[in-house]
Amino acid sequence: MKMRKYEMMVIFRPELSDEELDAQENLLKESVESKGGKWIETVKWGKRKFAYPIMKLTEGYYYIYYFYLPGSEVLNLKNEIKLNDKILRFMIVRKEEKRSVQ
């Protein structure tokens, strides 16, 4: 199965502590790796205000994750994330590999 590069943005609930956020990141990392993927990078944007309330909340912790995953496993990952009540919103997009011009 071909591994593709993905970017995932996750918004966590604002009341989570640093330890809980780290635990959530580890859960996501383990989930990706258990599906045959490879974790690349984590970018922490920190706590930010929303443009509009989400579930009556006005702010949350933004994280961006980069990883490789077989395309057939993306739906399984999405279904797992949907069950996590500490995540308010998430989005996974496929990143195109940069090609050199010849």
What residue ranges do the domains of the chain occupy? 3-56+71-89
CA distances from 88 to 25, 36, 70, 83, 85 (A): 14, 26, 25, 11, 7
pLDDT at 94: 92
pLDDT at 95: 87
3-state secondary structure 3-15: EEEEEEEEEECCC
CA distance 102 to 100: 6
pLDDT at 80: 93
pLDDT at 16: 94
pLDDT at 2: 84
CA distance 101 to 78: 34
* Mean pLDDT in order along the chain per 10 residues (102 residues): 91 95 95 93 94 93 95 92 95 83 68
Backbone angles phi, psi at 23, to 5 degrees: -65, -40
User: CATH number of 3-56+71-89: 3.30.70, 3.90.380, 1.20.58, 3.30.10?
Assistant: 3.30.70
Backbone angles phi, psi at 63, to 5 degrees: -135, 145
